[in-house]
Amino acid sequence: MSKAVLSPPGSIVPLLGNEAIARGAIEAGLDVAAAYPGTPSTEIGETLAEAARELGFHFEWATNEKVASEVAIGAAWSGLRAMCFMKHVGVNVAADALFTLTYAGTIGGLVVVSADDPHAHSSQNEQDNRHYAVAMGLPMLEPSTPQEAKDLVYRAFDLSERYALPFLVRSTTRISHTRAPVRLGEIRERRGKGRFKPPEPDRYVQVGAIARKHHRELLEKLTRIERELAPELAEVRGGSGDLGVITSGVAYAYVLEAARAMGLDVPILKLTMTNPLPAERIGEFLRGLQRVLIVEELDPYLEERVKAIAKDTAPDVEILGKAQGLLPRVGELNIRLVVGALSRVTGRPSPIDFSALEERAKPALELAVSRPPVMCPACPHRASGYVIRRAAGTAVYLNDIGCYALLFQRPFNLGDVTHAMGSGVGFANGISLATDQKTVALIGDSTFFHAGIPALINAVHHKRKFLLVVLDNRITAMTGHQPHPGVPVSATGEEVPALDIEKVVRGLGVEHVQVVDPFDFKAAENAVREAMKHDGVSVVIMRRECALLTVRRLRREGVKIVPYRVDPEKCTYCRVCINTYACPAFVDTGKVVEIDPTVCFGCGSCVDVCPYGAIEPMEGSLDWRGEKIGV
């Protein structure tokens, strides 16, 4: 967290959208927040975790998004102000609780934040969670800058209490991960302790007739919100002429700049509340125009709804957008794409000849060999992948969500499937049932707790035969090192009981369980070989701390990181190190392999990979295996 988040009211500080969301909640008097880390939402939690230590409210990294939502809901039903937040796919996990929540309503202000990831920068899909808001009956607000993100979250708490309904704030990567100056407001007092007291006896009991009654009430609330609130959460910005633009979220920023670049002064309707939509306001806007371009990322959510509204209010207005292919449904938007759409609609030329720029750039771009993310130097998952590849051989490999998902890449090829949290173990159930193929599922420690356990129970109960490798790096690494139930510290630094994965697995009835250090190639390979022979579900836990944590700790302790080197006399340029271990520190000079000292963390795990013993420590290099560093 940047220290700026807790600066005094009135100061203008540079905040990431996610930090601004956290600050908004803090200003609103947040009592309880819970979440499961997921890009692009994680920094909300990082910020709250640090602020909670100072201000005394509660924040926790929960086991998964459903549990996190239930923690927040329980607190809000007890009259406190609560928030849960998650990445877009996290809402899938929380959905079961959230759908019924809108029937139940809330007493304390309750805000749900969904951070969507158009472009799937760090995600398995590009799902557009605006549809959830409609399906769940959740009022939805969409900020278009970090400042708005803070202000809307703050306001959402009050609105939630006013309508006794949770409010959804939908962010996207380019809001959550955009830093901009934000003016801070006063921090309201917290309530502290709550008391669970339903407003009516059956308020939180959703069965049959009661649920139908609550469903009716929800629809009435949404009608009220559309009438009372939605119109003021929409704004028209200047402009003249018969062409208008309707937009929301970060797309608004692209529209403003695209219009400026083209010298266009179009009227823009910016929608801040996108469920329920202010139908009358939209109708008024449409009536003054002949054509309207809808600019939004992903699905034609606004476009289709505006068309429906236009049918009743302004049937002659032409609604343009994705249907005409003016803007893409895949990937995120930017100024250039909006310039392109405006240019096609108005017939005005683009201010910049993009194709000429691209043509000119071609030779340079052709040289730019691609660089997808890879596992870090010293990453224990690389060692695990190396060991599994050698010991388990040909098999169906069901990977999961985490840094180790990268093991699908060459040279490991351990990922026939990467799908959703915990799905690897679930699919192993199905594939081992349907085929006679060897089946290996891989799952990380945090993902295991999140969603791996029910599928493992199913496998034990149904006598399945497959190997589950738990890649236990003692942290939720991919999102930036958040603790999980297997770690003895809470988000806010409190000492808490850590659940031992080995005991959990044994407790579930798995009989063949081994724990190994993946840097100990021999022991780890033996463990995999033995486990593959077991007639039933077997589990191998490959346990070694995330290398980034190890390196950080060593640096903190003042230990200098000294890389390893390759003895050019001994190197035969067989490339076995590159072809089987693929550490990003290896450099192929065309004659020998070298180690880039700016990349190598000096773990020494690659020493045994070289058949000629050419990889060696330098003066001061550590040996993470021999010296038991990171285990």
Partner 1 sequence: MASDVSEFNVIIAGVGGQGILFSSRVITRAALDSGLNFVQSEVHGLAQRYGSIKTEIRMGRDVVSPLIMEGTLDLLVALEPIEALRYASYITERTSIVMNTHLVAPIGAYLERKRIPRVEEILEALQTLEPRRLEALNAVEVAERAGDIVVTNSVLLGAVDALGVLPFEEGALRRALEKEAPRRYLELNLRAFDMGREEILKR
Q: Is 340 in the site for partner 1 (CB under 8 A)?
A: no
Q: Is 587 in the site for partner 1 (CB under 8 A)?
A: yes
Considering the complex, what minimum distance in angstroms separates the CB of residue 303 from partner 1? 21
Chosen residue from 55, 164, 229, 335 binding partner 1 by CB under 8 A: 335
Contact residues for 207 (Cβ-Cβ < 8 A; gap 6+)? none
Amino acid at 326: L
Largest CA distance in the chain: 82
Identify whether the C-beta of residue 445 lies closer than 8 Å to the C-beta of residue 504.
Answer: no
Identify whether the C-beta of residue 245 lies closer than 8 Å to the C-beta of residue 292.
Answer: yes
Q: Is 598 in the site for partner 1 (CB under 8 A)?
A: yes
Q: How many CA atoms lie within 13 A of 579 on its CB side?
A: 6
Q: Is 201 in the site for partner 1 (CB under 8 A)?
A: no
Residue in this structure with the two tokens 């660089």, named with its chain if needed: 371
Report angle CA 521, 526, 529 to the nearest 5 degrees. Answer: 125
Q: Which two tokens stand for residue 390?
A: 């050698």
Chosen residue from 96, 358, 494, 511 binding partner 1 by CB under 8 A: 358
- C-beta of 371 vs 533, nearer to partner 1: 371
Q: Is 498 in the site for partner 1 (CB under 8 A)?
A: no
Q: Is 336 in the site for partner 1 (CB under 8 A)?
A: yes
Considering the complex, what minimum distance in angstroms separates the CB of residue 520 from partner 1? 24
| Binding residues among 233-262 for partner 1 as defined by CB under 8 A | 250, 252-254, 256-257, 260-261
CA 625 – CA 631 distance, rounded (Å): 8
Considering the complex, what minimum distance in angstroms separates the CB of residue 137 from partner 1? 31
DSSP state of 544: -
Contact residues for 170 (Cβ-Cβ < 8 A; gap 6+)? 113, 114, 116, 129, 130, 133, 140, 141, 142, 249, 274
Chosen residue from 219, 323, 330, 352 binding partner 1 by CB under 8 A: 352
- Whole-number Cα distances in Å, 326 to 274, 291, 322, 334, 340: 22, 13, 6, 13, 8
| Binding residues among 450-489 for partner 1 as defined by CB under 8 A | 478-480
| Binding residues among 70-129 for partner 1 as defined by CB under 8 A | 121-122
Q: Is 223 in the site for partner 1 (CB under 8 A)?
A: no
Chosen residue from 9, 199, 373, 493 binding partner 1 by CB under 8 A: 373
Q: Is 403 in the site for partner 1 (CB under 8 A)?
A: yes
Considering the complex, what minimum distance in angstroms separates the CB of residue 475 from partner 1? 14
- C-beta of 187 vs 578, nearer to partner 1: 578
Which element (helix H / strand E) includes 467? strand 466-472
Closest to 595 (Cα-Cα) out of 616, 579, 613:
616
Chosen residue from 54, 196, 240, 354 binding partner 1 by CB under 8 A: 354
Instruction: Return phi, psi of residue 294, to 5°.
Output: -100, 120
- The full DSSP string for 405-461 is GGGGSTTT---SB--STTHHHHHHHHHHHH--S-EEEEEEHHHIIIIIHHHHHHHHH
Considering the complex, what minimum distance in angstroms separates the CB of residue 5 from partner 1? 14
Q: Is 265 in the site for partner 1 (CB under 8 A)?
A: no
Q: Is 185 in the site for partner 1 (CB under 8 A)?
A: no
As beta bridge partners, residue 167 has 111
- C-beta of 394 vs 598, nearer to partner 1: 598
Instruction: Return phi, psi of residue 16, to 5°.
Output: -70, 150
Closest to 330 (Cα-Cα) out of 83, 96, 125:
125
| Binding residues among 564-583 for partner 1 as defined by CB under 8 A | 575, 578-579, 582-583
- State the binding string over 132-151 for partner 1 (x if CB under 8 A, else -): -------------x------
Residue in this structure with the two tokens 């695990």, named with its chain if needed: 384
Considering the complex, what minimum distance in angstroms separates the CB of residue 438 from partner 1? 25
Identify whether the C-beta of residue 527 lies closer than 8 Å to the C-beta of residue 458.
Answer: no
- Among the listed ranges 206-214, 274-282, 595-603, 618-626, the one in contact with partner 1 (CB under 8 A) is 595-603
Q: Is 368 in the site for partner 1 (CB under 8 A)?
A: yes
Contact residues for 67 (Cβ-Cβ < 8 A; gap 6+)? 34, 36
CA 27 – CA 418 distance, rounded (Å): 39
Chosen residue from 58, 66, 130, 177 binding partner 1 by CB under 8 A: 177
Q: Is 410 in the site for partner 1 (CB under 8 A)?
A: yes
| Binding residues among 542-561 for partner 1 as defined by CB under 8 A | none
Considering the complex, what minimum distance in angstroms separates the CB of residue 622 from partner 1? 17
As beta bridge partners, residue 235 has 270
| Binding residues among 23-62 for partner 1 as defined by CB under 8 A | 39-40, 42-43
Q: Please tell me the count of residues contacting partner 1 according to CB under 8 A.
A: 73
Q: Is 584 in the site for partner 1 (CB under 8 A)?
A: yes
**Strand ranges inside 273-351, DSSP E:** 273-275, 291-295, 318-320
Chosen residue from 80, 91, 165, 405 binding partner 1 by CB under 8 A: 405
Considering the complex, what minimum distance in angstroms separates the CB of residue 335 from partner 1? 4
- C-beta of 131 vs 575, nearer to partner 1: 575
Instruction: Return phi, psi of residue 397, to 5°.
Output: -110, 115
- C-beta of 549 vs 599, nearer to partner 1: 599
- C-beta of 41 vs 429, nearer to partner 1: 41
Considering the complex, what minimum distance in angstroms separates the CB of residue 563 from partner 1? 10
Considering the complex, what minimum distance in angstroms separates the CB of residue 330 from partner 1? 17
Considering the complex, what minimum distance in angstroms separates the CB of residue 135 from partner 1? 27
Considering the complex, what minimum distance in angstroms separates the CB of residue 590 from partner 1? 9
Chosen residue from 9, 12, 461, 613 binding partner 1 by CB under 8 A: 12
Q: Is 618 in the site for partner 1 (CB under 8 A)?
A: no
- Whole-number Cα distances in Å, 208 to 96, 168, 218, 598: 17, 26, 15, 64
Residue 434's CB is within 10 A of a number of other CB atoms, namely 9
Considering the complex, what minimum distance in angstroms separates the CB of residue 594 from partner 1? 11
Q: Is 369 in the site for partner 1 (CB under 8 A)?
A: yes
| Binding residues among 275-314 for partner 1 as defined by CB under 8 A | none
Q: Is 171 in the site for partner 1 (CB under 8 A)?
A: no
Q: Is 178 in the site for partner 1 (CB under 8 A)?
A: yes
Identify whether the C-beta of residue 497 lies closer than 8 Å to the C-beta of residue 487.
Answer: no
Residue 101, classified by CB atoms within 10 Å of its CB into exposed (0-12), middle (13-18) or buried (19+), is buried
- C-beta of 355 vs 394, nearer to partner 1: 355
- C-beta of 190 vs 381, nearer to partner 1: 381
On the question of a cis peptide bond just before residue 497, with omega within 30 degrees of 0, the verdict is no
CA 9 – CA 390 distance, rounded (Å): 59
Contact residues for 61 (Cβ-Cβ < 8 A; gap 6+)? 34, 35, 36, 37, 45, 49, 476, 482, 483, 484, 490, 491
Amino acid at 375: M
- Among the listed ranges 237-245, 298-306, 487-495, 591-599, the one in contact with partner 1 (CB under 8 A) is 591-599
- Tell me the chain's radius of gyration from C-alpha atoms: 27
